[in-house]
Amino acid sequence: MIQAMPERIKASPADEGFRLELLSVLPHLRAFARGLSGRPDFADDLVQEAAIKAWTARERYQAGTNMRAWTFAILRNHYLSELRRSRRQTDLDEGVAERMLVMEPDQEGPLHLGDMEVALQKLAPERREAVLLVGASGFSYEEAAEIAGCPIGTMKSRVARARADLARMLEGELDALDIKKRKTG
Site for another protein, rule CB under 8 A: 5-6, 8-11, 19, 22-23, 26-28, 30-32, 34-35, 41, 44, 48, 51-52, 55, 100, 103, 107, 109-111, 113, 116-117, 119-120, 131-132, 135-137, 163, 166-167, 170-171, 174, 177-178, 181-182
- Nearest approach, Cβ of residue 22 and another protein (Å): 7
- Nearest approach, Cβ of residue 143 and another protein (Å): 16
| Distance of alpha carbon 21 from alpha carbon 127, whole angstroms | 28
| Distance of alpha carbon 129 from alpha carbon 76, whole angstroms | 9
- Nearest approach, Cβ of residue 56 and another protein (Å): 11
Closer residue to another protein (CB): 150 or 177:
177
Closer residue to another protein (CB): 75 or 120:
120
| Distance of alpha carbon 182 from alpha carbon 177, whole angstroms | 9
Residue 13: Cβ within 10 Å count: 6
- DSSP state letters, 24-40: HHHHHHHHHHHHHHS-H
Give the single-character DSSP code of 169: H
- Nearest approach, Cβ of residue 131 and another protein (Å): 7
Give the single-character DSSP code of 136: I
